Amino acid sequence: MQPAERIFVAGHRGLAGSAILRRLKAEKFENLICRTSRELDLRDPQAVEVFFEQERPDYVFLAAAKVGGILANSSYPAEFIHDNLQIQTHVIDAAYRWGVKKLLFLGSSCIYPKYAPQPIKEDSLLTGPLEPTNEWYAVAKIAGVKMGQAYRRQYGFNVISLMPTNLYGPGDNFDLKTSHVLPALIRKFHEAKRSSAPEVVVWGSGTPRREFLHVDDLADAAVFLMRHYDEEEIINVGVGKDIPIADLARLIKDVVGYSGEIVLDTSKPDGTPRKLLDTARLTQLGWQPQIDLREGIASTYGWFLEN
């Protein structure tokens, strides 16, 4: 992947896509192609076809997707499966037919079974039932992985698939109705601090454990793998350690500077009890994350305050 080659970052305004775009710019890539969803609706096969015919990218980072937390997945299951299936189907197919050299498909750790052995190895895929609260998104992402593998086997199209753990960082979604747990907690503690609220309610028992990867680390891994990985097998991207949600809440409370109490609402769903990725395959290739969780939360809170 040379600096002068044409690179399409699909979903460049999203959390992952914007970080990948920042990374590519920092490495002096010159021909970066971006379209907003208004300029190019990836759910529209004709629009995608015209785009690839005109732009002819050499490389594609497919980070465009409809994403959200437990509440969003539960509220809009049809949109989560329909939109994601359409986006990835149209982009992967058009990329192959218009001569893209390599495509990176961004999946999610939620594709793994709810009770997969921990830490989760890549070969755990399709070995058990999914977490019900996000199965619509997970099924779509699994289909994207399998489509990439099928196009590789039948047509020799170089598609690699990354499975990142829970992402956070600059550009995150802080809407309490649609966001994931970490940005939602930042928002909750910030608003509680501002209003001098006596307590902050956190969904669930606080016992589920989650792994969090700063999105700039993901972007670094994505560019690294685009250069150094060419296999059919999916590859996990994470930090190799996790934290209970209750401890995460206390950490965010401390970073934000909130002095009230944390109340756990056990009537709300916990989701998967634990979701830690086995990152040995990526580590063996020579990549390691660089951003500590406290440092990452502090920089993310700073971005939230500025924006």
Instruction: Please indicate if the annotation marks 195 as binding a ligand.
Output: no
Instruction: Please indicate if the annotation marks 12 as binding a ligand.
Output: yes
CB contact at 8 A, 127 and 63: no
96 an active-site residue? Answer: no
Instruction: Please indicate if the annotation marks 13 as binding a ligand.
Output: yes
Give the 3-state secondary structure of residue 163.
Answer: strand
Instruction: Please indicate if the annotation marks 14 as binding a ligand.
Output: yes
> What type of residue sits at position 298?
A
C-alpha to C-alpha distance for 70 and 264, rounded to whole angstroms? 16
Q: Residue 174 to residues 49, 187, 209, 304: CA-CA distances in angstroms?
A: 33, 6, 21, 8
Instruction: Please indicate if the annotation marks 167 as binding a ligand.
Output: yes
Instruction: Please indicate if the annotation marks 204 as binding a ligand.
Output: no
CB contact at 8 A, 62 and 11: yes
C-alpha to C-alpha distance for 163 and 140, rounded to whole angstroms? 13
Instruction: Please indicate if the annotation marks 144 as binding a ligand.
Output: no
C-alpha to C-alpha distance for 11 and 9, rounded to whole angstroms? 6
Instruction: Please indicate if the annotation marks 106 as binding a ligand.
Output: yes
Put residue 171 in one of left, alpha, beta given phi > 0 → left and psi -120 to 50 → alpha: left
If we measure between CA atoms, which residue out of 252, 304, 242 comes closest to residue 273?
Answer: 242
If we measure between CA atoms, which residue out of 38, 128, 116 comes closest to residue 274?
Answer: 116
C-alpha to C-alpha distance for 184 and 301, rounded to whole angstroms? 11
Instruction: Please indicate if the annotation marks 15 as binding a ligand.
Output: yes
Instruction: Please indicate if the annotation marks 272 as binding a ligand.
Output: no
Instruction: Please indicate if the annotation marks 164 as binding a ligand.
Output: yes
Instruction: Please indicate if the annotation marks 98 as binding a ligand.
Output: no
Instruction: Please indicate if the annotation marks 251 as binding a ligand.
Output: no
C-alpha to C-alpha distance for 204 and 217, rounded to whole angstroms? 28
Q: Which residues, 6+ apart, have CB-to-CB distance to 143 below 8 Å? A: 85, 88
Instruction: Please indicate if the annotation marks 274 as binding a ligand.
Output: no
Instruction: Please indicate if the annotation marks 188 as binding a ligand.
Output: yes
CB contact at 8 A, 110 and 138: yes
Instruction: Please indicate if the annotation marks 108 as binding a ligand.
Output: yes
Determine which one of 59, 137, 151, 301 is catalytic: 137
Q: How many CB atoms lie within 10 A of CB 154?
A: 9
Q: Residues forming the annotated binding site for NADP(+)?
A: 11-17, 106-109, 141, 164-167, 180
Active site positions, annotated: 137
Q: Residues forming the annotated binding site for substrate?
A: 188, 203, 210, 270
Q: Residues forming the annotated binding site?
A: 11-17, 106-109, 141, 164-167, 180, 188, 203, 210, 270
